[in-house]
Structure 1
Amino acid sequence: MTTSALTSATRRRRPKRQAGWRGLIYIAPAMALVTLFFVLPVLFTLWMSLHKWPLLGEPAWIGLRNYTRMFTDARFFNALGFTAHYTLIVTIAIFAVAFPLAIFVEKQRPLVSLYRTIVFLPVVVGLASASLLWVWLANVDSGLFAPLFDMLGLTSGRINLLAKFDTAFLTIIVMVVWKIAGFTMIILLTGLQAIPAELTEAARIDGAGRWQRFRHLTLPLMRRTMALALILSVTGSILAFDQFYIMTSGGPQNKMISVVYYIFNQSFVSFNLGYGAALSIALLLILVTLSVVQLWLLKVGDERP
């Protein structure tokens, strides 16, 4: 190769290298934040999980004993089972409410902006604040639900909705749906609005009814958006803590202790910080596995050119 050809090739590679370094400079602040607030805490938590780490005193190396302890911890598996049950129920309930709402507010109709605002308003309320609000609403003496249900004949007298497992669980589900459905609605609404109107009109002209258009056109084109909403809903439900801690304190009879609540108890009530760290790592692995599975299912059925 001649000298001029080598020089030309070097000049062509130089802009690519400069662009690469420029890109690294642009993402450096984000990488620093991720490293500082995620990678380093995870590594430190992993280090803690290999120790018997008391609140006061020197930590002692115990290797994998915290992890082997999990497999014989019945309360941990009870918390996992309750969290899975809660996640399944609340995710179905959120989608059952959010999808029809998204379809309703997607159409141009009078006051549609007002409807969207009203549905989305609970999202801006913090979960802890929403839980405190619903504790007051469910209060027997000063709340709204007890006298209202008694007046409507739904209960015989005023009852404490948070005193029994069934009514407390239902109250929390309704509160979370009221709080989260507006956010899921907005995500689904963006997916609906991204569907080309020409496709819907062509399907209608070809004689496809509403159900056929929904099944064969809307749902396939909404698959990625629904997957995003599903991942956010499942992850948020598995990490649920505020509503159980504030509204029921894990009761009645400790039947409403989620995984995060159990980690909190082990770490900051029993002061088993090492075991709490091991439980946190296990929960992180569960979340990563579920996200990978959902992303894999998202790719299944993709049409390749």
Structure 2
Amino acid sequence: MTATVTRETSADRHRPVRRRRASGHLRQERRAGWLFVAPAVIVLVVFLFAPILMAAWVSLLDWNGQSSPFSGDADFVGLDNYRNLLTEAGLLRNDFMLSVRNTLYYVLFGVAGVVVLSFVLAMAVNSYVLRGRSFFRTIFYFPAITSSVAISVLFLFLFQGAGVVNVMLSWVGVDGPSWFTDPRGVLHIVFSWFGVDAAPGALADTTLGGLSLWDWFSGPSVAMCTLIMLTVWTTSGTYMLFFLVGLQDIPVELEEATAIDGAGAWQRFRYLTLPLMRRSLVLVITLALIGSWQVFDQVFILSQGAPAKTTLTPAYISYVRSFGDGQFGVGAAVAFVLFAIIIVLTLVQRWVGRERRA
């Protein structure tokens, strides 16, 4: 009995020592962990978080970029840049609303087109019937790794007035459109075929954000349709890889079992492939949505907002106002409004595409 009590007392006496040793090892592991992640944290702070905070401060200034934004040379204007952009009638708000309208059409048709095309390509190169699948995967992915400037210049030559596209259309008796000179939306062009060239009274008198409903519902211009085709062609290869990974994760046993049960190709696609590809679809739609609102280089090379600002985008406005007009405060405000739009639409899209319990 005495020995038992002595052993218990000895164990109790050594327990705090073991606790101190364990806590000491834990502190050493934490210090080692911070030491390893410190370079990445420093890079993020210096090149990501600090510029974001600086841009937020610049958006509250009237700054021309010639001096330090933290000096007294830059005038503090508060929310005036945002007010002029969103509420005050003027050229800035009109241009921004035009860019939002253009980008909405770009997102609507561009995201849908790239998702459908990339999904079809992924199913094609995933098929065991197709020979040379590695070759076709490389060919389909090749536009994604090609310089966007080079591809934009190529499209500029293809779709100019005497370009290859119009020449080929003339072979079948179709007069090619003026791709980069016609400012009308495609819906306006279709209405003109039926003699409707002017806006009805209700659509012309009702305005939203400084634009009439007739302008909002005009559809994308022919030039914007060209940009959409360019984006769909260049990005579908990248998103094809995301879908391909998802398709290859579907167990072959499930497909064989559904085929044995008598399910046809459409039934297997509808009730097996699509439900199992939900996460891949949400990922691709999210990435395509974000990329569509950030489009800049194609606009800069092909049109610079022409014709009649029908290819204007928020990213291009931010660039022109900052580096063209020297209004870095306005450019930063446009960038932060664009950031808010992307965040809201991404959250809505993720909420719509979330997995729901049965």
User: CA 1:31–1:2 in structure 2 vs 1: closer, same or farther (change >3 Å)?
Assistant: same
The answer to whether structure 1 residue 291 and structure 2 residue 306 are counterparts is no
Q: Aligned pairs, how many?
A: 300
CA distance in 1: counterparts of 2:30 and 2:268, whole angstroms: 45
Query: Equivalent residue for 1:235?
Result: 290
CA distance in 1: counterparts of 2:243 and 2:270, whole angstroms: 15
Q: Which runs of 5+ in 2 are unaligned?
A: 1-10, 68-72, 88-92, 184-220
Counterpart mapping for 1:57-96 below 5 A = 58-72=73-87, 73-96=93-116
Q: What SS does structure 2 have at the residue aligned with 1:2?
A: helix
The alignment yields a C-alpha RMSD, in angstroms, of 2.1
Query: Equivalent residue for 1:32?
Result: 42
Q: CA deviation at 1:221?
A: 1.5
Query: Equivalent residue for 2:8?
Result: none
Question: TM-score, with normalisation over the residues of structure 1?
Answer: 0.90
> Which of 123, 126, 134 is the equivalent residue of 2:155?
134
Q: Which runs of 5+ in 1 are unaligned?
A: none
Query: Equivalent residue for 2:179?
Result: 161
Contact 1:266 1:272 in 2 (8 A): yes
The answer to whether structure 1 residue 274 and structure 2 residue 341 are counterparts is no
Contact 2:224 2:310 in 1 (8 A): no
> Which of 261, 265, 274 is the equivalent residue of 1:219?
274
Contact 2:149 2:301 in 1 (8 A): yes
Query: Equivalent residue for 2:140?
Result: 119
CA distance in 2: counterparts of 1:96 and 1:125, whole angstroms: 22
CA distance in 2: counterparts of 1:206 and 1:122, whole angstroms: 41
Q: What SS does structure 2 have at the residue aligned with 1:116?
A: helix
Residue identity in the other structure for 2:290:
T
User: CA 1:13–1:223 in structure 2 vs 1: closer, same or farther (change >3 Å)?
Assistant: farther
Contact 1:50 1:65 in 2 (8 A): yes
Q: CA deviation at 1:14?
A: 4.2
CA distance in 2: counterparts of 1:9 and 1:92, whole angstroms: 59
Contact 2:322 2:328 in 1 (8 A): yes
Q: CA deviation at 1:297?
A: 4.1
Contact 2:62 2:329 in 1 (8 A): yes
User: CA 1:30–1:220 in structure 2 vs 1: closer, same or farther (change >3 Å)?
Assistant: farther
Residue identity in the other structure for 1:255:
T
Residue identity in the other structure for 1:161:
W
Greater mean alpha carbon deviation, residues 209-218 or residues 9-18: 9-18
Greater mean alpha carbon deviation, residues 53-62 or residues 292-301: 292-301
Query: Equivalent residue for 1:255?
Result: 310
User: CA 1:269–1:224 in structure 2 vs 1: closer, same or farther (change >3 Å)?
Assistant: same
Q: CA deviation at 1:185?
A: 0.8
Aligned-pair identity (%): 32
Q: What SS does structure 1 have at the residue aligned with 2:160?
A: coil
The answer to whether structure 1 residue 3 and structure 2 residue 21 are counterparts is no
Contact 1:146 1:160 in 2 (8 A): no
Q: CA deviation at 1:191?
A: 0.8
Counterpart mapping for 1:137-148 below 5 A = 137-141=158-162, 143-148=163-168
Residue identity in the other structure for 2:42:
A
Question: TM-score, with normalisation over the residues of structure 2?
Answer: 0.77
Question: Rg: which structure is higher?
Answer: 2
Q: CA deviation at 1:25?
A: 3.0
Residue identity in the other structure for 2:118:
A
User: CA 1:92–1:80 in structure 2 vs 1: closer, same or farther (change >3 Å)?
Assistant: same
